[in-house]
């Protein structure tokens, strides 16, 4: 696991975008696993900026988003489908027929999960972008006694609903369930890029990356993957200084 810590989250975003863009430049038909939440926003901004400068195209890239709320239509302003259009897809040439997000409005959610897994088997993910929840969740794989490998419906923990309430008008509007790619599918990606910012995540960063591997902290399973790069800002990495490879790496090309 390669862990890099940046002085500012803008530098982290710049570096993460560069890693993703390098993947696309090397492999124009790359399969990207994409994440939502507040952390990737700066990364998507940098990707859009780079696209606007020219010389890069996403039209042959296939994407799979990690998760989607159950019960929110794609048009809902807090759906992850809408987020992806607002942050990335709507400003670039991603082909809508190649961008995949679980449908949280599917009449048969079990069939939707199976169909998503079938697509993932057909298009193995080259590079999976991940954020980190405060309780160690990745995608919406919540801490539990056991974790599920494939795409599935999950009951969101009260802490996760509370953390995401800031995006909704009223905390009661936060959906109680989501569809998420499972831990097994996430770990099948050839390479994983975990991005975490903020002092409020310093403890869970340490627990995930330097603590025991346990289903009580789903992100700790990333320790079992052979190709993980972790990008932290100064605050998120402040409890990991003993194990970090590159301390406060400045990124001059921002």
Q: Is 131 in the site for ligand GLP (CB under 6 A)?
A: yes
Q: Which residue in this structure is represented by tokens 């492999």?
A: 27
Number of C-alpha atoms within 13 angstroms, CB side, residue 87? 21
- Torsion of the alpha carbons at 75, 131, 234 and 222, rounded to the nearest 10: 180
Q: Is 140 in the site for ligand GLP (CB under 6 A)?
A: yes
Contact region for ligand GLP (CB under 6 A) — 19-27, 110-118, 125-133, 232-240? Answer: 125-133
Question: What DSSP string describes 130-162?
Answer: E---TTS-BTTB---SS--SS-EEEEPPHHHHH
Q: Is 104 in the site for ligand GLP (CB under 6 A)?
A: no
Q: Which of 67, 142, 207, 233 binds ligand GLP (CB under 6 A)?
A: 67
**Interface mask toward ligand GLP for 35-64; x: CB under 6 A:** xxxxx-------------------------
Q: How far is the CB of 195 from ligand GLP (least distance, A)?
A: 8
* 7 catalytic residue (yes or no): no
* Cβ proximity of 44 and 56 under 8 Å: no
* 135 catalytic residue (yes or no): yes
Query: Pick from 248, 253, 254: which is nearest to 6 by CA?
Result: 248
Q: Is 142 in the site for ligand GLP (CB under 6 A)?
A: no
* 251 catalytic residue (yes or no): no
Cα distance from N-terminal residue to C-terminal residue, the chain: 24
Q: How far apart are CA 3 and CA 137, in angstroms?
A: 19
**62 in helix, strand or coil?**
strand
Strand order, beta sheet including 67-69: 67-69, 177-180, 152-155
Q: Is 185 in the site for ligand GLP (CB under 6 A)?
A: no
Give the nearer residue to ligand GLP in terms of CB position, either 4 or 201.
201
Q: Which of 142, 152, 164, 233 is catalytic?
A: 142
Query: Which token pair is 81?
Result: 């489908």
Query: Which token pair is 235?
Result: 């605050």
Query: Which token pair is 98?
Result: 């190649």
Q: How far is the CB of 142 from ligand GLP (least distance, A)?
A: 9
* Cβ proximity of 148 and 187 under 8 Å: no
* 67 catalytic residue (yes or no): yes
Q: How far is the CB of 121 from ligand GLP (least distance, A)?
A: 22
Q: How far is the CB of 86 from ligand GLP (least distance, A)?
A: 15
Q: Which of 133, 182, 218, 237 binds ligand GLP (CB under 6 A)?
A: 133
Q: How far is the CB of 138 from ligand GLP (least distance, A)?
A: 7
By CB under 6 A, name the binding residues for ligand GLP: 35-39, 66-67, 131-133, 139-140, 160, 164
């Amino acid at each position: 696991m390669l862990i890099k810590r940046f002085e500012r989250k803008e530098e982290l975003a710049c570096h993460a975008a560069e890693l993703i863009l390098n993947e696309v430049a090397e492999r124009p038909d790359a399969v990207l696993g994409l994440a939502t939440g507040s952390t990737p926003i700066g990364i998507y901004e940098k990707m859009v900026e780079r696209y606007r400068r020219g010389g890069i195209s996403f039209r042959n890239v296939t994407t799979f988003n990690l998760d989607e709320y159950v019960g929110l239509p794609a048009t809902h302003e807090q759906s992850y489908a809408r987020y992806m259009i607002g942050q990335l897809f709507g400003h670039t040439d991603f082909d809508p027929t190649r961008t995949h997000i679980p449908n949280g409005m599917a009449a048969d959610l079990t069939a939707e999960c199976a169909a998503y897994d079938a697509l993932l088997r057909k298009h193995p993910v080259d590079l999976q972008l991940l954020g980190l929840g405060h309780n160690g969740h990745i995608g919406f794989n919540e801490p539990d006694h056991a974790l599920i490998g494939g795409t599935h419906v999950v009951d969101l923990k009260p802490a996760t609903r509370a953390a995401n309430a800031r995006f909704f008008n009223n905390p009661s509007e936060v959906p109680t369930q989501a569809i998420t790619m499972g831990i097994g599918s996430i770990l099948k990606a050839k390479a994983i890029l975990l991005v975490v910012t903020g002092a409020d995540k310093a403890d869970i960063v340490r627990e995930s990356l330097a603590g025991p591997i346990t289903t009580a902290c789903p992100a700790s399973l990333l320790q079992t993957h052979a190709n993980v790069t972790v990008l932290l800002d100064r605050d998120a990495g402040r409890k990991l200084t003993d194990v970090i490879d590159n301390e406060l790496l400045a990124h001059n090309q921002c």
